[in-house]
Amino acid sequence: MSDIKVLALVGSLRAESINRRIAELAADVAPDGVAVTVFEGLADLPFYNEDIDDAVNTAVDHAPDPVVALRAAAADADAALVVTPEYNGSVPAVIKNAIDWLSRPFGNGALKDKPLAVIGGSLGRFGGVWAHDETRKSFGIAGARVIDVKLSVPFQTLEGKAPADHAELSANVRDVVGKLVAEVS
Ligand SMILES: Cc1cc2nc3c(=O)[nH]c(=O)nc-3n(C[C@H](O)[C@H](O)[C@H](O)COP(=O)(O)O)c2cc1C
C-alpha cells in the first residue's frame, strides 16, 4: 500500500524558523506509512489575483507555475498540516495567500474535503492561537475539512531546546499527525 501523503505548509520563510523545525519534526515522528512533505514553493507564489488565475475560467490550470505546483502538491496529498507562527495577531501573509490560491476554482479547490490540521508556535504567551484559529476558519471556508486538534506552542515552553529535542512537543506533534491521518478516508 502506498504511503499516506501529508502536505505541510509552513507560515515562516526564515531559514531558522522554529515552525519549520516543527514541520520537520512532524515528518520525523509520523507513523510508518505516512509521508509528511514540506511544500518548498510558498515564497514563489505571486499575490492572489483573479486576472492571472486561469483555473477559474478554464478546465486546464494555466495559472503561474508556482501556483500550479502548489495545487498539484495539494491534489496529490491525502491531508494537509499547516505549521505557522502568528504575525500581528493574525495569519502570516504567505499562508493566507496559499489559502486564497487553494480556494479556487471556487467550490473545487485542491484540498476540498481533505482533512487539514493547524498547529505552530510563536513568541507570545498564547503561542499564536489567533493565527491558528483564523487559519482554521479561512481554510474551512476555502473547502478543507479542518479537524479539531489544537497545538499552539509559546516558544518559552521549549526552554531553548530545538523542537526535536523537546519530548513533550514531540509527543504532541506525533499525536496531531496521528489524528490527522486517522481522518483520511
Ligand atoms: C511581522 C511579525 C509579526 C509578529 N507578530 C507576532 C504576534 O502577533 N504574536 C506573537 O506571538 N508573535 C509575533 N511575532 C513573533 C514571532 O512569533 C516570532 O518571530 C517567531 O519566531 C516566528 O516563528 P518562526 O520561528 O517559525 O519564524 C511576530 C514576528 C514578526 C516578524
Read off the pLDDT of residues 52-94 as tens digits, 9 standing for 90 and up. Answer: 998 777 777 789 999 999 999 999 999 999 999 999 999 999 9
- Pick the residue whose CA is nearest to atom 31 on ligand 1: 87
Read off the pLDDT of residues 138-148 as tens digits, 9 standing for 90 and up. Answer: 999 999 999 99
Instruction: Please give the Cα distance from 160 to 180 (Å, whole number).
Output: 28
Q: Give the closest residue to 73 by CA, choosing from 106, 36, 108, 105.
A: 36
The pLDDT of residue 61: 73
Best residue for ligand 1 mutational test, from 88, 95, 122 (most atoms within 8 Å of Cβ): 122
pLDDT at 130 over 90: yes
pLDDT at 159 over 90: yes
- Pick the residue whose CA is nearest to atom 30 on ligand 1: 87
Task: Supply the pTM of this predicted model.
Answer: 0.97
- The domain spans of the chain are 4-183
Q: For residue 20, which atom of ligand 1 is closest to its CA?
A: 26
Any residues with Cβ below 6 Å from ligand 1, and which?
12, 14, 17-19, 85-89, 122-124, 128
Backbone dihedral angles phi then psi of residue 61, each to the nearest 5 degrees? -85, 110
Q: Would you say 17 and 43 are in contact if contact means Cβ atoms under 8 Å apart? A: no
The CATH architecture assigned to 4-183 reads 3-Layer(aba) Sandwich (3.40)
The pLDDT of residue 84: 99
pLDDT at 1 over 70: no
Lowest mean pLDDT among 40-49, 50-59, 118-127: 50-59
Report how far ligand 1's centroid is from the alpha carbon of 156 (Å).
Answer: 13
- Pick the residue whose CA is nearest to atom 14 on ligand 1: 87
